[in-house]
Amino acid sequence: MNVYQRLKDLGIELPQASKAMGLYAPVKISGNMAYLSGQGPMKDGKFLCTGKVGGDVTVEQAREGARQTAINILAALHDYLGDLNKVKSVVKLLGFVASVDGFNEQPAVINGASEVFIDVFGEDGRHARSAVGVSELPGGMSVEIESIFEIIV
């Protein structure tokens, strides 16, 4: 399966990869593992969703933000590797959801990202995952996701 053909079939265009906003590497390779720093729901130069889920942001809006975040993760990985066909599998996601007190549907939000990886990579996109509620995220974004990929070296 060619990942780029699959992206095209799904109507997904990879954006320009975001640059690091601090003293960290967006992607770090160790052996055959690619560790990606947290990405957010950036689209066209601004966050797709900001605020707290369960308050001023709906689950559906945040889920769409998680979907965009997954696309941004793929863009960062493409920028670093030069070829997404080098991805062997999606290993793990750690999703953070800025939430109001009492909100407990973080897994439903992060499903937006999980679906992208499964749609793009098939069963190799199925991954281990955590979805955590937090009080604040950088820039006021509603969703941030870290990821780990197994790659072909």
Query: Could you tell me the CATH number of the domain that includes residue 81?
Result: 3.30.1330.40
CB 85 within 8 A of CB 148: no
The answer to whether residue 17 sits within a structural domain is no
% of the chain at pLDDT higher than 70: 100
Is 0.85 surpassed by the pTM of this model? yes
Q: Is the model's pLDDT at 1 over the cut of 80?
A: no
Q: Is the model's pLDDT at 129 over the cut of 90?
A: yes
**Number of domains composing the chain:** 1
The answer to whether residue 145 sits within a structural domain is yes
Q: Regarding predicted confidence, which is higher, 22 or 27?
A: 27
Range of the domain at 42: 3-11+24-151
pLDDT band at 21 (very low <50, low <70, confident <90, very high): confident
The answer to whether residue 19 sits within a structural domain is no
pLDDT in tens, 79-95: 999 999 999 999 999 99
134 φ/ψ angles, rounded to the nearest 5 degrees = -130, 165
The answer to whether residue 16 sits within a structural domain is no
Give CA–CA dist 123/104, Å, rounded.
27
The answer to whether residue 112 sits within a structural domain is yes
